[in-house]
Copies of this chain bind each other. A is one copy, B any other.
Amino acid sequence: MWRAEIKVLLKKSVLDPQGRAVEKALASLGYNNVNRVRIGKYLEVTVATPDRAAAEAQVREMCARLLTNPVIEDYTFTLVEVEA
């Protein structure tokens, strides 16, 4: 079994109002050395397949079909082998 740890962020060219709001909130708390705040989704998905390459292909397919919006989002993921 493999656990996919998927990080999803808006593409760099897409405005991230949530990130901007948090950046301003941090500044108002006194953290003036903080910038480039981006906020996205983090997903953990466990795939029951023995083969790493098959797990990777399946995660990629699930991201394209359901988990992310490829028009406005980019994602990266890592696979971690886990016990059943």
Contacts and interface: CB of A to CB of B under 8 A. Distances in A.
Given A7-B5, A62-B31, A67-B22, A40 B42 contact: yes
Interface of A: 3, 5, 7-9, 19, 22, 25-26, 29, 31, 33-49, 58, 62, 65-67
Contact of A41 (B31, B40, B67): B40
Q: Is the interface of A mostly helix, strand, loop or mixed?
A: strand
B44 A36 contact: yes
Given A5-B7, A67-B22, A62 B34 contact: yes
A34 B46 contact: yes
Closest 3 CB pairs of A and B: A42-B42, A36-B46, A33-B48
Contact of A7 (B7, B38, B67): B7
